[in-house]
C-alpha cells in the first residue's frame, strides 16, 4: 500500500515546472517552483510546521495549547493543518476587510476566527494588533508564532526549500527569484543557495511598487502577501543582490498569463515574482537557470485578478473588455 500517515507529511518537495510560453525570446531556462501543491495550498505550510515543532521543543507550546496569530491567509491555513495533526487549538485574528470566504477556509480546518474592525487606530483596544496580544495574555497555554520575527520562518527555507531547489536543478541554478513579504522565503532559501554555491547563485527579490524593500514608503498596492511598510526581523537585508520593483499592472498581467498560457492558476504575488524573473532572464545566456517561487494558488483570488470587472475597475483592463453583454448591470 502506498500512503502517507497524514496530509502534513506532504508538506514540501514541490515540483519545478518549466515556463514555456511566457519565455518566448528568452534563452535562459526559467523554472517555477509550484508551492500551491503543498497540502494547505501555499508555501506557508513549510514555516507553520517548523515554527510549531520548534515551539514544542522549546516548551513554549505545550500539549493542549492554543496557537494565536494575526493572519487571514496562507499562514493561518498552514498553522491550522499542523495544529489539527498535533492536537492544538487555533485562534486567528483578522481585520473585517478580509473576505468571508477566507475566514471560512480557516474555520473549515477547525480554527476559531476573531474579526476586528479595520476602521480603528492601531492603538485602539479593538485593533487587530491589540486583540491578538490580549488573546495571547488571556488564553492559558497560548503561543504566538509571529512569522515576521520568528527565526524558524527563514530557517524552514534554509533547511528545506533551498536544498530542494539545489537538488532538483542538480546544482545548475544560477538565479533565484522570490517575492518578499515577511522575507522568510528569500532570506532562508537565498542564504542556503549562496552557501552551497560559494556565493555564485544570484538572489533577486521581487517587490510591489510602493513597498519598503524597493525603497517605497509603504504606499498602497493591490497585490497581496508581499511588500511591507516596515522591516521585519525575518528579512535578512544582506541576501538579495538585486530588488526588482513590479507594478500591480505587470503583476496581474503575468498572473493571468500564467493561468492562460502555462496552466498555472496562481495568486497575484506569483505573477509579481514571475514578472521579475522574466525581466532578469531576458538578459541572461542560454546556460542560465532561473528558479522563481510561486507561493500560492489562484482560487483565493477569483473575484479579484481573475475577475474582468474588478480588473477593469482599477484600469488594468479596458472598460470594454469586461465580458459584459447587453443588459448586464456593471
Ligand atoms: N506570496 C504570498 C501569497 C504570501 O502569502 C507570502 C507570505 N506573506 C509571500 C508571497 C511572501 O513570502 P515571505 O513571507 O516568505 O516573504
Task: With a cut of 60, say whether residue 183 has pLDDT above it.
Answer: yes
Output the CA 324–ligand 1 centroid distance in Å: 33
pLDDT of residue 121: 79
CA angle 24-178-50, nearest 5°? 140
ipTM of the complex: 0.97
Task: With a cut of 90, say whether residue 220 has pLDDT above it.
Answer: no
Q: Of the given ranges (42-51, 71-80, 174-183, 245-254), which has the lowest mean pLDDT?
A: 71-80
Q: Which of 33, 44, 89, 194 is catalytic?
A: 44
CA atoms within 13 A on the CB side of 113: 23
Residue with the smallest CA separation from ligand 1 atom 11 is 181
Task: With a cut of 90, say whether residue 325 has pLDDT above it.
Answer: no
Under a CB-based contact definition with an 8 Å cutoff, are residues 31 and 169 in contact? yes
Please, which residues bridge with residue 34 across strands? 294
Give pLDDT tens digits for 238-262: 999 999 999 999 999 999 999 999 9
Give pLDDT tens digits for 33-52: 999 999 999 999 999 999 99
Kindly give the residue spans of alpha helices, DSSP state H, lying in 160-243. 162-168, 184-196
Which residue among 246, 295, 299, 300 is best mutated to probe the pocket of ligand 1, counting the most ligand atoms within 8 A of its Cβ?
295
Residues with CB under 6 A from ligand 1: 73-74, 179-185, 225-226, 267, 269, 295-296
Output the CA 138–ligand 1 centroid distance in Å: 29
What is the arithmetic mean of pLDDT over 115-137?
Answer: 87
* pTM beyond cutoff 0.90: yes
Output the CA 181–ligand 1 centroid distance in Å: 5
Average pLDDT value for the chain: 94
Annotated catalytic residue 57 = no
Output the CA 2–ligand 1 centroid distance in Å: 32
Give the other-Cβ count within 10 Å of 10's Cβ.
Answer: 15
Task: With a cut of 70, say whether residue 26 has pLDDT above it.
Answer: yes
Kindly give, in sequence order, each residue whose CB lies less than 8 Å from that of residue 126, ignoring residues fewer than 6 positions away: 116, 117, 120
Count Cβ atoms within 10 A of the Cβ of residue 197 and give its class: 0-12 exposed, 13-18 middle, 19 or more buried.
Answer: middle
Q: Which of 10, 62, 63, 61 is nearest to 37 (CA)?
A: 10
Which residue among 34, 44, 45 is best mutated to probe the pocket of ligand 1, counting the most ligand atoms within 8 A of its Cβ?
44
Give the position of cell 492554543.
Answer: 66
Kindly give the residue spans of alpha helices, DSSP state H, lying in the chain. 44-58, 74-86, 100-108, 128-138, 152-156, 162-168, 184-196, 248-262, 268-281, 308-313
Under a CB-based contact definition with an 8 Å cutoff, are residues 99 and 72 in contact? no
- Closest atom, ligand 1, to C-alpha of 153: 15
Radius of gyration of the chain measured on its C-alpha atoms: 20
pLDDT of residue 118: 77
Count Cβ atoms within 10 A of the Cβ of residue 20 and give its class: 0-12 exposed, 13-18 middle, 19 or more buried.
Answer: exposed
- Closest atom, ligand 1, to C-alpha of 235: 16
Task: With a cut of 60, say whether residue 196 has pLDDT above it.
Answer: yes
End-to-end CA separation in angstroms for the chain = 54
What is the arithmetic mean of pLDDT over 64-88?
Answer: 94
Which residue among 34, 70, 181 is best mutated to probe the pocket of ligand 1, counting the most ligand atoms within 8 A of its Cβ?
181
- Closest atom, ligand 1, to C-alpha of 75: 5
- Closest atom, ligand 1, to C-alpha of 295: 1
Would strands 89-95 and 66-70 be described as parallel, antiparallel, or unpaired? parallel
Would strands 29-34 and 16-18 be described as parallel, antiparallel, or unpaired? antiparallel
Residue with the smallest CA separation from ligand 1 atom 4 is 225
Under a CB-based contact definition with an 8 Å cutoff, are residues 202 and 298 in contact? no
Task: With a cut of 70, say whether residue 327 has pLDDT above it.
Answer: no
Residue with the smallest CA separation from ligand 1 atom 6 is 225
Under a CB-based contact definition with an 8 Å cutoff, are residues 23 and 30 in contact? yes
Amino acid at each position: 500500500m502506498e500512503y502517507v500517515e497524514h496530509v502534513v507529511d506532504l508538506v514540501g518537495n514541490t515540483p519545478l515546472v518549466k515556463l514555456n510560453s511566457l519565455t518566448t525570446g528568452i534563452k535562459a531556462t526559467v523554472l517555477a517552483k509550484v508551492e500551491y501543491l503543498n497540502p494547505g495550498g501555499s508555501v506557508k505550510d513549510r514555516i507553520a510546521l517548523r515554527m510549531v515543532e520548534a515551539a514544542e521543543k522549546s516548551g513554549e507550546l505545550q500539549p493542549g495549547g492554543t496557537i494565536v496569530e494575526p493572519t487571514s491567509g496562507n499562514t493561518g491555513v498552514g498553522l491550522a493543518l499542523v495544529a489539527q495533526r498535533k492536537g492544538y487549538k487555533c485562534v486567528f485574528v483578522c481585520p473585517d476587510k478580509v473576505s468571508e470566504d477566507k475566514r471560512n477556509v480557516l474555520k473549515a480546518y477547525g480554527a476559531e476566527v476573531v474579526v476586528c474592525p479595520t476602521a480603528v487606530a492601531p492603538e485602539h483596544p479593538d485593533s487587530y494588533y491589540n486583540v491578538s496580544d490580549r488573546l495571547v495574555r488571556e488564553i492559558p497555554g497560548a503561543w504566538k508564532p509571529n512569522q515576521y520575527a520568528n527565526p524558524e520562518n527563514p530557517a524552514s527555507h534554509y533547511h528545506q526549500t533551498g536544498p530542494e531547489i539545489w537538488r532538483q536543478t542538480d546544482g545548475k541554478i544560477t538565479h533565484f527569484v522570490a517575492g518578499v513579504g515577511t522575507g522568510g522565503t528569500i532570506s532562508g532559501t537565498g542564504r542556503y543557495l549562496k552557501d552551497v554555491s560559494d556565493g555564485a547563485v544570484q538572489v533577486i527579490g521581487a517587490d510591489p511598487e510602493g513597498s519598503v524593500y524597493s525603497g517605497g514608503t509603504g504606499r498602497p498596492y493591490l497585490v497581496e502577501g508581499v511588500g511591507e511598510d516596515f522591516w521585519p526581523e525575518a528579512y535578512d537585508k544582506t541576501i538579495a543582490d538585486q530588488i526588482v520593483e513590479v507594478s500591480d499592472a505587470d503583476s496581474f498581467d503575468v498572473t493571468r498569463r500564467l493561468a492562460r498560457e502555462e496552466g498555472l492558476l496562481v495568486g497575484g504575488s506569483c505573477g509579481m515574482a514571475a514578472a521579475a524573473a522574466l525581466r532578469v532572464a531576458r538578459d541572461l545566456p542560454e546556460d542560465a537557470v532561473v528558479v522563481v517561487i510561486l507561493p500560492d494558488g489562484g482560487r483565493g483570488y477569483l473575484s479579484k485578478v481573475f475577475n474582468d470587472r474588478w480588473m477593469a475597475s482599477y484600469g488594468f483592463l479596458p472598460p470594454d473588455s469586461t465580458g459584459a453583454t447587453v443588459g448586464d448591470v456593471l
